[in-house]
Amino acid sequence: MAAPGSSAQNSEPTIKFVRNPDPAPDFKLQTLDGRPLSLSTFSGKVVLLNFWATWCGPCRMEIPDLIELQKQYKNSLQIISLLMDVDDVEDARKFVAGSGFNYPVAVATPEVRMQYGGISALPTLFVLDTQGRIVQKHVGLSDPRLYELETRALLNLAIPFKVETFEDTGEIFLKNADRAKELPGVDLTSLTPDQRIAALHAFNAESCTCGCKLTLAQCRIYDSACRISKERTAKIIVALSAKSPAAPAQGAASGAPGASGSPVASPEKSPLRP
């Protein structure tokens, strides 16, 4: 989601964190080896909260890098591994024991999964600052160097990149989808500025009927492949486009409104099993 890169205005590579981040929901679980696990225990450390599954290829690929990162920053970083879709806990326990994990592993309950937005793909990794706030979220296999750079930045250690902030418009928490000016797979270019506002209001007011129990806006962010929310948002746009906008004042310059913000990217990810 926020790999180091260059912007049009500034060629300096950047690391990006959420501006005014929300606190991460706490939880109380038991690790696979029977120890209590609570997020609040690690206050004061950077936390990488990793949702994964043993059957997920990309999830398994990043395990050695996470083990090495935990070893390197053991005094100031805590990686927490939460397993999803566990069919056999004993099999999961054997896999973890044979993989050399040096950080706690627990099974995510449905409640924890929903607290963190439903987790639509694996792996999904949340980056928490030392105050326990979620500052970034990565969906899919990421370059392990990115995790280290973000860890160092949050620990105020030197990194060869610029640090910038962005507003969460649903990428981290779906509840913030009402801040979004663009949505995946939704083309607002045919609308006037006022119609765009009306459309976004409608997307946030109407529930999707696909069964996700989310608004249309949240569903587009949560599952950009959802056909139902895509078709319904398109119909709302057509209905608004059919309304004749007020004629501009004589002599006023006309032109298409500029896009406010970049479209939400669709990261490469390993889809959850049906």
Which pLDDT score is estimated for 96?
A: 95
pLDDT on residue 173: 84
Tokens encoding 136: 């970034």
- Active-site choice (59, 212, 219, 226): 59
User: For the packed helices 193-205 and 227-241, what is the interaxial angle rounded to 10 degrees?
Assistant: 140
pLDDT at 271: 41
Q: Which CATH architecture has domain 14-166?
A: 3-Layer(aba) Sandwich (3.40)
- Per cent of the chain over pLDDT 70 is 84
Catalytic annotation present for 56: yes
- What is the DSSP secondary structure assignment for residue 190, as one 8-state letter? T
Q: Where are the chain's structural domains?
A: 14-166, 174-245+260-271
Q: Residue 97 above 80 pLDDT?
A: yes
Residues 6+ positions from 130 with CB-CB distance below 8 Å: 43, 44, 45, 46, 154, 155
Nearest C-alpha neighbor of 270 from the set 154, 171, 125? 125
Q: Give the tens place of pLDDT for each residue, 177-209.
A: 999 999 999 999 999 999 999 999 999 999 999
pLDDT at 241 over 70: yes
**Known active-site residue 59:** yes
Average pLDDT estimate for 42-54: 97
Q: What is the pLDDT of residues 132-158, one digit of tens each?
A: 999 999 999 999 899 999 999 999 999
Residue in 56, 208, 219, 226 annotated catalytic: 56
How far is the C-alpha of 110 from the C-alpha of 170, rounded, in Å?
A: 20
pTM score: 0.76
Q: Report the Cα–Cα distance between both ends of the chain, in Å, rounded.
A: 24
